[in-house]
Structures are given as C-alpha cells and as structure tokens.
Amino acid sequence: MTGPYLIAGNWKMNGLNSSLAVLEETARSCEHLNEEVDVVVFPPATLLAVSSILLKDTRVQLGGQDCSSEVSGAFTGEISASMLKDAGAKFVILGHSERRQRHAESDDLVRRKAIQAVQEGLKAVICIGEIAQEKADGKTLAAVSDQILYSVPRTSAVDQIVIAYEPKWAIGTGVTPTLDEIAVVHKHIRVELLAHWGESGRGIRILYGGSVKPSNATEILAISEVGGLLVGGASLDAKQFSAICEHG
C-alpha cells in the first residue's frame, strides 16, 4: 500500500507522570522525521489528557489502549471512545492479545468496540494474530482469516481501520517470525481485506507487531504489505523508539 508508515508505541500498563519526560524526548527525536512516517504513542489512559497538551504541535499523535463497546452510562471502570477523543486520542488499540486472553475478549466484542471507535472518528488499530498452538498446528492463516471476518467491522471508512498482525507468541518474547513468514501472513491479510472490501481494502494499513527492535525494524518494514509497526517494550525507551521511527 502507499502512504506513510505508521509506527505505533504501546506502553501497556506502564507510565506515571514521571514518565512524561520519555514522551517529550520521543517528540523531540521525531521532529526531524520525514513525511513518510506517522508516529502514535498509546500511554495509559491516565496520562492521555496531559500528554495531549505536551504533544501539541509535535509529530507524535496519541491513542488509547482500549475502549468500551458502549456509548456511555452505567459501565463502571470502562472508558468510552468519546472520552478518549475528548482527552486527545486520535487512535485506539482494540483486541490486543493481552485483552483477548486475560479479559476473554471475543471477536464480536472487539468488532463492537471498533464500531464505537470509528463512529467517534478514532482510528481503530485492531489486533489479530495466532497463538503458539495455532502456529504449531499450521492454522496461522485460518486464525487470522477468522479474526478479520469476526472482529473487523465492515465499515466503509477504511482509512479509520488499521490491522495489526501480532503473533501472540512473538509479543514480549524477543522471538519473531521469519521475514518470509511475516510476508506470507501480511499477503494473506491483504487478500482477505480485498475479498471483504473490494478494491478499497487496499487502503487499510497493516502493521506488524511482536518483539520489534531498532535492529529488526528496517528489514520488517521492507516487506511488501507491511505498512508500519506496533511496538511494545521498545516504545518505553525514547531512544529505541525513535530509532525504530527513523527506519520508516
């Protein structure tokens, strides 16, 4: 696909007010990036509003790590898409494997969350990817096909949907698929997107995520159909994250 790479940093459940210096350093280091790279950081929800002030007029955009499938009301502890937007988010991660596994989030719930996000004008970064057993059983492509079918809403707003292919076994492990494996899965995802959306499915960006570091970012970004990276651990270190962004 054409257009800038999207490099996304997921802080997960890390980050206090004292961590805002990392965001400032990231923004400073990203100032000189060329137009071919878009950068978004997903701090915890508690830091969104203050981060939004801090990042005003910088190259770094903000996102939330999850949102509710409901609009508003008696849903204690949940955060709506409109609240994320109000706090300065432009993106939201949905269906991360940690939420699918630890919080038993189903494809259908992820799809309903994505509908809310898109309705609020947020870009939904919908995570898909096989678990280790599915890989061992040769079911990687079937697993991602199912997740695309059931967790990605058939919205016409394709520019508000981003797919992140994140094999569960590669997240936080230091182990990545081979470049060929990444290429095969990304090509398969594109074929599925074209099958469901027709030609407009070409406009949906597909990120790779799972143990991305400055040392492997260039070769992964060079793979056809890889439109960016979702970075976990390395995004907590401004030097590593901005080094990854420079590969874009």
d(CA 20, CA 28): 12
- The answer to whether 163 and 149 are in contact (CB under 8 A) is no
Q: Report how far residue 231's alpha carbon sits from residue 246's, in angstroms, rounded to the nearest whole number.
A: 14
Pick from 212, 220, 226, 244 the residue near ligand PEP by CB under 6 A.
212
Among 5, 10, 167, 240, binds ligand PEP (CB under 6 A): 10
Nearer to ligand PEP, 209 or 228 (CB): 209
Flag whether 10 is marked binding: yes
**Binding pattern for the stretch 169-188 against ligand PEP, x by CB under 6 A and - elsewhere:** --xx----------------
Q: Which of 201, 209, 227, 248 binds ligand PEP (CB under 6 A)?
A: 209
Q: How far apart are CA 42 and CA 67, in angstroms?
A: 12
Nearer to ligand PEP, 11 or 197 (CB): 11
How far lies 181's CA from each of 78, 83, 92, 104, in Å? Answer: 36, 38, 27, 27
In whole angstroms, give the CA distance from residue 228 to residue 206.
7
Does the footprint of ligand PEP cover residue 43 (CB under 6 A)? Answer: no
Shortest reach from residue 89's CB to ligand PEP, in Å: 17
Strand partners, 107: none
Choice between 130 and 166, CB closer to ligand PEP: 166
Which residue ranges make up the site for ligand PEP (CB under 6 A)?
A: 10, 12, 166, 171-172, 209-212, 230-234
